[in-house]
Amino acid sequence: MKIDFYGVRGSIPAPGLNTVKYGGNTSCVHVKLNKGQNIILDAGTGIRSLGGKLINTDDPIFLLVSHSHWDHMQGYPFFLPIYQREREIYVCPSEQTIHDQLCSLLDQMDGAHFPVEAKELPSRTECVVENVEPELRRHGINITRKPLNHPGSGSAYKITENGVSCAYVTDNELDPPDKIHTTYDEWVAFCANTDILIHDAQYIEADMPQKHGWGHSLISQVRQLALDAEIKTLILFHHDPDRTDAQLTEIQQETESFFKSKKADIKVHCAWEGLSLRV
């Protein structure tokens, strides 16, 4: 599979002179399977430029949503394929605990928050809310999900093709102070031996204890998870909007040194817009 990053920032878009290198768009990752299926993980503002590429193709699009916070759905009305006549788009919302909307991506297109209403879209957009795994399997896509430790919860995804796997775990607190939806040991099992682990890495030690319980992980905890789960490549993702390019480069170097000191053969990338991996 091929994995391309279009939005890597957390919480709110953060354009500006300090985020030029890693990018300021919010969460969006494109996974292209070898068999040709287009999977999109989240519809943050990064999805706008991805849409500009996908309108030149006509394959179905499968959009898996981690949860409905703004930074994961805000780009959807600007995703050009939804305006293509008869384009097949399957939207899979996460399993969440605190809202009763069927599909926030479409619900936000209500005429008040955006001028075009979802019912006017010419594409064939389908919201898949039940039997998500078997429904995707019917289209040749193998995924498993796990509940996030995040306010309102949400879903992590693991995509597998021909023994190769990519786990997408963003907006997840590995050590939450309150209700635990998925324990640390369960995360280790979920991520075990994955080729690519994309994990929330929003906080550093200086953010604590103020932000304990906000639903994001410490980079040090994510490094430990990568070791314990024996993954091959770690992608630090969902960067804090205040984290500068210089700080992220430092985090990249520290993480490389950490794995080296543990004699672990784990590659690491602080995610940046334009990062492209083939696995």
* Smallest gap from residue 11 Cβ to Zn ion (A): 6
Which of 279, 273, 212 minimizes the C-alpha distance to 4? 273
Subset of residues 3 to 32 that bind Zn ion, contact rule: CB under 5 A: 10
Q: How many residues does the chain have?
A: 279
Closer of 10 and 258 to Zn ion (Cβ): 10
x-marked contacts with Zn ion along 57-96 as a string, rule CB under 5 A? ------------x-x-------------------------
State yes or no: cis peptide before 13, omega within 30 of 0: no
To Zn ion, the closest distance from the beta carbon of 74 in angstroms equals 10
**Among 93-101, 118-126, 171-179, 222-230, the segment contacting Zn ion (CB under 5 A):** 171-179
d(C-alpha 150, C-alpha 127), whole Å: 23
Q: Which is nearer to Zn ion, 4 or 171 (CB)?
A: 171
53: amino acid identity, one letter: K
Q: Quick one: how far is CA 266 from the chain centroid?
A: 20
CB of 68 to Zn ion, least distance (A): 8
From the list 77-85, 105-113, 167-175, 259-267, the region that binds Zn ion by CB under 5 A is 167-175
Nearer residue to Zn ion within complex by CB, 10 or 23: 10
**Nearest distance, CB of residue 198 and Zn ion, angstroms:** 13
Cα separation, 67 vs 171, whole angstroms: 9
Q: Which residue is nearest to Zn ion (CB)?
A: 69
To Zn ion, the closest distance from the beta carbon of 148 in angstroms equals 8
| 39 phi/psi in degrees, rounded to 5 | -115, 135
φ/ψ (deg, to 5) at 10: -105, 155
Q: Give the largest Cα separation in the chain, rounded.
A: 56
Q: Please give the structure tokens belonging to residue 245.
A: 């390019």
Q: How many amino acids of this chain bind Zn ion (CB under 5 A)?
A: 4
In the bound state with Zn ion, the residue whose beta carbon lies nearer, of 11 and 125, is 11
Tell which one of 4, 161, 171, 173 touches Zn ion (CB under 5 A): 171
Which CB atom, from 84 or from 93, has the smaller least distance to Zn ion?
93
Residue 3 C-beta: closest distance to Zn ion, Å: 19
Provide the mask over 113-152, with x wherever binding to Zn ion is found by CB under 5 A and - wherever it is not.
Answer: ----------------------------------------
How many C-beta atoms lie closer than 10 Å to residue 253's C-beta?
12
- Phi/psi for 268 (5° steps) reads -140, 145
Where would I find the H helices in the chain?
A: 47-54, 104-107, 132-138, 184-191, 219-228, 245-261
User: For binding to Zn ion (CB under 5 A), which residues are involved?
Assistant: 10, 69, 71, 171
